[in-house]
């Protein structure tokens, strides 16, 4: 049986080893370093330590990461590592092995899958063909925007207001908030007429003028306002009313 002195000595050594990450100055710990300098400033073992999260027993996360890289012959060996390979590393249990395999697979997918191509919509007819299946033929009026980049490629189309059968309340603040957050170069306004008739009302004309003025103030071009019927549309740009 250990003496009291031996027990205290063992506890101190165990505590100091398992708390090894704390031996680093705060600014040199992987997570703090990432926050301060960004991920590109971290070494392979530091990035891996963040994925691992925390150590086990006498090993901290950085030590586990170092052991893992040694086991698989460096970072490039990780994609070929199996669950059994990971389990052979001290400090890597089932949960950590699953986290590592998931992170590796996500990284692989970002390299092998091309980003979906964003449609480029230049004419009112093209924009209406894009919007009608999504927002036409609704029983309730919806007002929204299509955000595009400088080449008229769609960033996102979203409804910003849903009203009643009689109309929709639209405020410029709501219209341009997401466009600013998305970094849109321009927007196309749209809304549907539940009646199925896309002819603009007097209120539609007033709203279009109001949002054109707001766009000038915000520095975001309003390219068109398209009213959607069931299968037809009206474009203020085509009608030369912008």
3-class secondary structure per residue, 161-222: EECECCECCCCHHHHHHHHHHHCCCEEEEEEECCCCCCCCCHHHHHHHHHHHHHHHHHCCEE
Across 68-94, b (16+ Cβ under 10 Å) vs e yields bbebbeeeeebeebeeebbeebebbee
3-state DSSP helix/strand/coil percent for the chain, to nearest 5?
50, 15, 35
Write down the CATH number for the domain with range 4-112. Answer: 1.10.150
Q: What is the pLDDT of residues 42-64, one digit of tens each?
A: 899 999 999 998 888 888 899 99
**Predicted pLDDT at 98:** 92
Low-confidence ranges of the chain (pLDDT < 70): 1-27, 114-115, 164-169
Q: What are the tokens at 112?
A: 């092998």
**Predicted pLDDT at 130:** 96
DSSP bridge partners of 226 = 190, 235
| Residue range(s) of every CATH 1.10.150 domain in the chain | 4-112
Write down the CATH number for the domain with range 124-235. Answer: 3.40.140.10
Q: CB–CB of 52/60 below 8 Å? A: no
| Residue range(s) of every CATH 3.40.140.10 domain in the chain | 124-235
**Predicted pLDDT at 19:** 53
Q: What is the pLDDT of residues 182-214, one digit of tens each?
A: 999 999 999 999 999 999 999 999 999 999 999
Q: What are the tokens at 132?
A: 């009608």
């Amino acid at each position: 049986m250990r003496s009291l002195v031996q027990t205290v000595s063992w506890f101190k050594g165990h505590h100091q080893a398992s708390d090894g990450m704390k031996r680093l100055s705060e600014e040199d710990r992987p997570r703090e370093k990432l926050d301060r300098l960004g991920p590109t400033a971290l070494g392979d073992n530091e990035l891996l330590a963040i994925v691992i999260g925390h150590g086990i027993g006498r090993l901290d996360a950085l030590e586990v990461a170092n052991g893992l890289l040694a086991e698989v012959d460096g970072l490039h060996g990780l994609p070929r590592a199996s669950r059994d390979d990971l389990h052979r590393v001290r400090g890597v249990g089932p949960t950590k092995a699953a986290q590592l395999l998931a992170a590796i697979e996500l990284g692989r997918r970002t390299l092998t899958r091309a980003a979906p191509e964003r449609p480029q919509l230049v004419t009112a007819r093209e924009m209406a063909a894009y919007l009608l299946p999504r927002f036409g033929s609704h029983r309730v009026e919806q007002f929204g925007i299509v955000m595009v980049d400088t080449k008229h490629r769609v960033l996102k189309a979203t409804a910003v207001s849903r009203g009643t059968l009689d109309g929709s309340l639209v405020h410029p603040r709501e219209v341009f908030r997401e466009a600013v957050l998305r970094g849109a170069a321009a927007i196309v306004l749209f809304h549907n007429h539940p009646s199925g008739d896309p002819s603009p009302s007097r209120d539609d004309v007033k709203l279009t003028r109001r949002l054109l003025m707001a766009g000038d103030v915000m520095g975001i071009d309003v390219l068109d306002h398209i009213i959607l019927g069931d299968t037809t549309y009206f474009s203020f740009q085509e009608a030369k009313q912008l």
